[in-house]
Amino acid sequence: MYYLKTEQSFDAAHFLKDYQGKCRNLHGHRWRVVAEIQGEALDTDRQTRGMLVDFGELKELLKTLCDTLDHSFIYEDGSLRPATLAALKEEGFRMAPVPFRPTAEEFARYFYEEITQRGYAVHRVEVYETPNNCAAYEGEP
């Protein structure tokens, strides 16, 4: 089995609604996303012969996904009052609603699913909230 890894990062703020700790407050991270794909056979096409996939394509996909969240305020749909949301939008803040609680664990699954939907055989995705704290998702075997 062959494995390839690439990584990207993005800076964004978030908070955890109904969390009883520091993370209930708005705060930011430099999120680091490491995506690993797998495959049993290398390509035989002239351009990508001897490669599992073109690193450039995989790298660009992960960068595009991360760029949609970069320098934004990530929040769970329904976690902000309409007036709060309207005020933030009126101020011109870049808002990034997600349909899940914005935890590292949920982001690991999110990136795994997004990359898989684009045709890659994803083995594992790791999301670091800090240099020392990481969540990973591997999906079903």
Q: Name the active-site residue from 14, 60, 71, 106.
A: 71
Structural element, H or E, at residue 5: strand 2-14
Residue 130's nearest CA partner among 23, 2, 4 is 23
pTM recorded for the entire structure: 0.95
93 CB-near residues (< 8 Å, 6+ apart): 72, 73
Over 80: is that where the pLDDT of 95 sits?
yes
23 is catalytic: yes
**Better pLDDT: 9 or 141:** 9
123 is catalytic: no
Confidence of residue 139 (pLDDT cuts 50, 70, 90): confident
7 is catalytic: no
Q: Name the active-site residue from 23, 105, 106, 113.
A: 23
- Greatest C-alpha distance within the chain: 57
Structural element, H or E, at residue 85: helix 82-90
Phi, psi for residue 58 in degrees, rounded to 5: -65, -45
Mean pLDDT, residues 33-47: 95
Phi, psi for residue 22 in degrees, rounded to 5: -60, -30
Q: Quick one: pLDDT at residue 141?
A: 61
pLDDT digits (tens, 9 = 90+) for 48-73: 999 999 999 999 999 999 999 999 99
